[in-house]
Structure 1
Amino acid sequence: MDTVITIEIVKAQPDDACHERVSRAFGWFDHVEQRCSRFVESSELSMLFRSETGTPVSVSPLLFQLIEFALAVSQASGGAFDPTVGQAMAARGYNRNFRTGQETSHQPHATRETSYRDVVLNREGGTVTLLKPMVLDLGAVAKGFAMDLAAAELGCFTGYAINAGGDVLVRGRNSVDAPWRIGIKNPRKPAELIETLVVSDGAVCTSGDYERPRPDGQPGHHIIQPQTGESASIVASVTVVAATAMLADALSTASFVLGRKRGLRMLESQGVDGLIISPRLELYATSGLSKYRR
């Protein structure tokens, strides 16, 4: 997933069983990547979009759940979030594995006019049907999904913090028996913090225009406006606090594309809190974010 993953745990008397759970927690990140990454030629996702168009394909429950969630967010956001942007991302230089640098040459030529509505799920049969040639990109949900799966392994600890490249999921209290403090980067000076949130249980995920510039050196970044295929540019960053990392991850991307007003409305409607930062570093928050500010 091209990111550094750390897990900080809090427990008075760790035992071997708990250490084994930490190992399993780390393992989920590789497992999700190997199944759900378009950059892995042998992944289940890659095999799906290489399948014959219009043919139902049986997929694992894990991949089905991830695609189903991505489509639900697509619908809730009116298409601002759309996993069918993979071809547009590849055309802008995001066609290499970020970790190895290897180009993904296995991806099919996709129809330009695709949307999440061209993906059909059959829950009873556990199948996915792609109605048009397309490249699915699940990057905006897969990392959060892996974080949630990892967290499910850590119930034996009184507190923990999973940090995956700055996206954080915490439970309980830290090693000094205080809520976890999570910094939000200044999108114009990422080495500095612009805000700090105090969270005991939940996930904090950020989407920012400073995170992955275009590899080809052209202006732009990795967060695509699905309707235009260009980098979204209305805001500089969006941070979301939610019960799960998958939800926070997806909604931060959707709200980034929607912009300040529509993004805040969506976050409020989904019952989560968030902070949207404009290119001029103006801060706009949901009504409930104040409970996390100190």
Structure 2
Amino acid sequence: MHHAEHVMGTVVSIDLADNLPQADLRAMIDDVCGWLHEVDRRFSTYRDDSEVCRLRRREIEVADCSADLRHVLEACADLWRETDGYFDAYAAGPLDPSGYVKGWSVEIASARLVEAGSVNHCVNAGGDIRARGLSASGAPWRVGIRHPWEADKLSWVLAVSDQAVATSGTYERGDHVVNPRTGEPARGLRSVTVVGPDLALADAYATAALAMGEAGIAWLAKLAADGYDSALVTDDGRAFSSAGLPAAV
């Protein structure tokens, strides 16, 4: 079963490849969509009544926030330390945990599907992907990584099963990632893709590496030992990938 949902400022595609009754699959999709809309209501930086915006305006204190928001704030603080400050939820000024929230919310969505009985599915939120099991063809899920200059071409095709894929780049949304050291838009890398076991971390690592610029190439290479492989394209067109990248044959 396939479903596309407009939420969190993007289109989220949900593909379920389990041999289960249609009613069960529909209920799973409804649950996931409900969760994603809840995340949007609470974490959106564009909704004045969201929990994040209320915290920004100091209408509520951290102690009064939901357990999910407190978790996100703690995770962002941990990532700030782990990335030497390059993943910074305050890089552009006010609190904006979006670089963690989208990947985290899709990771939770996938976990909810597993709990409901789906072991073969793929959730794609605007290029942040969590895949489990196999596709309907019985093969790993194939994920195309867009060429950063030619929209109708691909730089890599990945074959993933029980993995997450996150891509951060400047070719679609422009200068949306800031180097927190300089306060200026990130420069040096055009596209960063990270593949690993957890989408929340993969998403944050891709954002941090993009903020680092070319220094992110060596930084990401060290994460391969922890199960996070990567593929990058620089602003001048050079391509790099780690040895364990699950490229499709």
**TM over 0.5, shorter chain:** yes
Structure 1 length normalisation: TM-score? 0.76
Aligned to 1:83: 89
Unaligned runs of 5+ in 1: 88-134, 214-220
CA deviation string 1:229-255 (max 9, x = no partner): 211011101000021211111110001
Deviations, residues 4-54 of structure 1 (Å, cap 9, x unaligned): 11101012232534421211111222111211122111111111121179x
Code of the aligned partner of 2:188: I
Matches of residues 234-245 of structure 1 in structure 2 within 5 Å? 234-245=188-199
Tell me the CA shift for residue 267 of structure 1.
Answer: 5.0
Q: How does 1:200-239 map to 2 (within 5 A)?
A: 200-213=161-174, 221-239=175-193
Q: Establish whether residue 275 from structure 1 lines up as the match of residue 231 from structure 2.
A: yes
Is 1:12 the counterpart of 2:19? The answer is: yes
Is the Cα contact below 8 Å between 1:260 and 1:276 reproduced in 2?
A: no
Find runs of 4+ consecutive structure 1 residues off by over 6 angstroms.
none
| Counterpart for residue 119 of structure 1 | none
Q: How many residues align?
A: 238
* CA distance 1:6–1:258, shift in 2 (3 Å): same
Query: In structure 2, how many angstroms separate the alpha carbons of the residues matched to 1:176 and 1:76?
Result: 39
1:2 aligns with 2:27: no
Which structure has greater helix proportion? 2
Confirm or deny: 8 A CA contact 1:255 1:264 kept in the other structure. Answer: no
More RCO (CA 8 Å, sep 6+)? 1
Q: Which amino acid aligns with 2:98?
A: G
Q: Deviations over 1:49-82 (max 9, x none)?
A: 21179x6542111001111111111111111110
Cα distance between partner residues in 1 of 2:165 and 2:235: 21
1:69 maps to 2:75: yes
Does residue 148 (structure 1) correspond to residue 107 (structure 2)? The answer is yes
Question: What SS class does the counterpart of residue 182 from structure 1 fall into?
Answer: strand
Give the C-alpha shift of residue 207 in structure 1: 0.4
State the percentage of identical aligned residues: 32
Question: Relative to structure 1, is the Cα distance of residues 13 and 21 closer, same or farther in structure 2, using a 3 angstrom cutoff?
Answer: closer
Deviation at 1:266, TM superposition (A): 3.9
C-alpha contact 2:16 2:25 (8 A) present in aligned 1: no
CA contact 2:196–2:229 (8 Å) conserved in 1: yes
1:61 and 1:18 map into 2 onto residues whose CA distance is 29
User: Residue in 1 aligned with 2:122?
Assistant: 161
CA 1:33–1:293 in structure 2 vs 1: closer, same or farther (change >3 Å)? same
SS in 2 for 1:210: coil
TM-score for the superposition, normalised by structure 2:
0.89
User: Which ranges of structure 2 fall in alignment gaps of 5 or more residues?
Assistant: 1-7
CA distance in 2, matches of 1:162, 1:148: 9
| Bigger radius of gyration | 1
CA RMSD for the aligned pairs?
Answer: 1.9
Summarize the Cα distance change of 1:56–1:141 in structure 2 as closer, same or farther, 3 Å threshold: closer
Distance 1:77 1:21 in 2: 35
Cα–Cα, structure 1 residues 249 and 267, in superposed 2: closer, same or farther, change >3 Å? Answer: farther
Q: Which moved more, 1:199-208 or 1:7-16?
A: 7-16
